[in-house]
Amino acid sequence: MRRIARPNRLLLVLAALSVLGACRDGEPPLFPVDAAQGLGEQASPERGARLIAERGCTACHTVPGVRGPASRVGPPLGNLARQAYVAGLLPNTPDNLVRWLMDPPAVNPRTAMPDMGLQRAEAEDIAAYLMQRADRHARTP
């Protein structure tokens, strides 16, 4: 009776390394560092941080730089600029992020994220903050 050969350990190690390599967190943001400027001349990351706290976003999301409970209802928002999609549906652009923030159920009726009644300027401020936070952690080549 023939024995089934054991998988080559080198192949297993290479496969594990390739999987780990795909999980890198050091990737640059998908949109440029100055992408917040495309949101409107008045977009303010400082107001965005204040709005995140006032509107209770930290009840569901962990947002770096904004104090709140340790939340795990929604995804953490510290690496938003590195994600390919907003809410897993929209290509990650500043305009799509603002669209999502203004009315999540209009984009995805099955989302758990409520419409917080944000005006466009408020959504732009929050988007500017979230992009700024991610850009601070981006490595420069």
Higher pLDDT: 98 or 133? It is 98
Q: What is the DSSP letter of 37?
A: G
Structure tokens at 12: 């297993």
pLDDT number for residue 5 = 56
Q: Into how many domains does the chain fold?
A: 1
pLDDT over threshold 50, residue 141: no
The verdict on residue 8 lying in a domain is no
Q: Which domain holds residue 117?
A: 31-136
Q: Can you give the CATH number for the domain in which 48 is found? A: 2.60.40.420
Residue 59 has pLDDT above 90, yes or no: yes
Query: Does the residue 108 lie in any domain?
Result: yes
Return mean pLDDT, the chain: 79
| % of residues, the chain, pLDDT over 90 | 52
pLDDT band at 41 (very low <50, low <70, confident <90, very high): confident
DSSP 2: P
**What Rg, from alpha-carbon coordinates, does the chain have?**
19
Residue of higher predicted confidence among 117 and 17: 117
At residue 140, the pLDDT reads 38
Buried-exposed string 33-66: b where 16+ CB fall within 10 A, e elsewhere: bebbebbbeebbbebbbebbeeeebbebbbbeeb
